[in-house]
Amino acid sequence: MESDKNLEKSDTVIIDPLWQKNQVFTSRGNDVIGNPHLSKPRLQDKSATAPSSGNIGLKGIIAGGITGGIEICITYPTEYVKTQLQLDGKTGAGKQYNGIYDCVKKTINTNGFFGLYRGLSVLVYGSIPKSAVRFGSFETVKKQLVDDEGKLNAQRKLLAGLCAGVSEAILAVTPMETVKVKFINDQRSGNPRFQGFFHGVSLIVKENGFKGIYQGLMPTIMKQGSNQAIRFFVMETMKDYYRGDDNNKVVPKPMIGLFGACAGAASVFGNTPIDVVKTRMQGLEASKYKSSLDCAVQVWKNEGPRAFYKGTVPRLGRVCLDVAITFMIYDSFMDLFKKVWP
């Protein structure tokens, strides 16, 4: 009789929808069925975590998109200066600027303060989907890779970041960056042709075809993949170190900003040469290079190895600020979603 009662309890667990949904029909599950005292805690734990984990990717997409729009409006002038310096020739008629200050001064004198915001519309249109894809991809991949304690080891942190970077490179960054560089480069010419975002894009596609907005795809994949692998690895590692053994410990927003700045700095020193090649391959004179490798060889021969670190200082300042702001804003929205969107 006692065994029949235990069997009835076990049967109740088996037909429970949440039990079926989580498919607890493994060998471990069979052990649990035999012990009704252990079945309830495991059932409650699964049902408690399922709603949150089920939509984490969507939360990442929405929070990331909002974050991208806010961040680019704050940091664009440094991106503009960095791109101008990278496009600048070594000597002769092609060289226009003698450093960061000279670039800012000449830009303001020629086009006013808002000249530093030329090409912003391109990045606004691109930054929202870029950031949405990045964080949505990271959260989705991270969900699949975390261990039972909700943590990632070093290799999986790098892999999750790499997947996020490759995804954003293909779906958002390459077309956005190609158009942005062409817009900025067009403004450097004596007779600018682009009369706005849509006119410029239509002209690029008309002259170069659809591939005209996908120039430099491979260096962009390399850049974004390494970027996000480094950034998410540093960020997740520092957050884990701060939390210690308490995985639920809240990391203050100032610390998130500090960790983000460190992650940004690490990525700058790790892949600025790739960024230089990518920028050259997406410029209006990209046709003079046979490939990304040919571009790197020509830059080395004609301008020397230091050319691969052109724009490092403005990029360092921009990226540290960018990544710090990005992670702080993103973390804030994810905290908000935890409260209003369980």
* Residue 167 or 183, more confident: 167
In whole angstroms, give the CA distance from residue 339 to residue 342.
Answer: 6
| Secondary structure letter of residue 76 according to DSSP | H
Residues written for the chain: 342
* Residue 203 or 139, more confident: 139
Give yes or no for residue 21 having a pLDDT over 90: no
Residue 76 Cα distances to 121, 126, 250, 281, angstroms = 10, 13, 31, 21
User: Angle at the Cα of 155 (from 152 to 161), degrees rounded to 5?
Assistant: 75
- The answer to whether the beta carbons of residues 318 and 71 sit under 8 Å apart is no
Give yes or no for residue 165 having a pLDDT over 70: yes
- Residue 27, pLDDT score: 44
pLDDT winner (highest mean) among 3-7, 100-104, 177-181, 304-308: 100-104
- Residue 59, pLDDT score: 94
Tokens 């304690």 map to which residue?
149
Q: Which of 197, 185, 175, 195 is nearest to 285 (CA)?
A: 185
Helix, strand, or coil here: 97? coil
| Secondary structure letter of residue 117 according to DSSP | G
Q: What are phi and psi of 250, to 5 degrees?
A: -80, 130
- The answer to whether the beta carbons of residues 314 and 100 sit under 8 Å apart is yes
Non-local (6+) Cβ contacts of 108 within 8 A are 115, 116
Q: For 206-233, what is each residue's pLDDT tens digit?
A: 888 878 888 778 888 988 999 999 999 9
Q: What is the mean pLDDT of residues 264-282?
A: 85
**CB-based burial of residue 244 (10 Å sphere; 0-12 exposed, 13-18 middle, 19+ buried)?**
exposed
- The answer to whether the beta carbons of residues 46 and 18 sit under 8 Å apart is yes
The token pair at 206 is 């008309």
- Residue 89, pLDDT score: 65
Residue 186 Cα distances to 63, 173, 194, 331, angstroms = 33, 19, 7, 37
Helix, strand, or coil here: 66? helix
- Residue 146, pLDDT score: 92
Q: For 324-341, what is each residue's pLDDT tens digit?
A: 999 999 999 999 998 898
Q: What is the mean pLDDT of residues 283-298?
A: 84
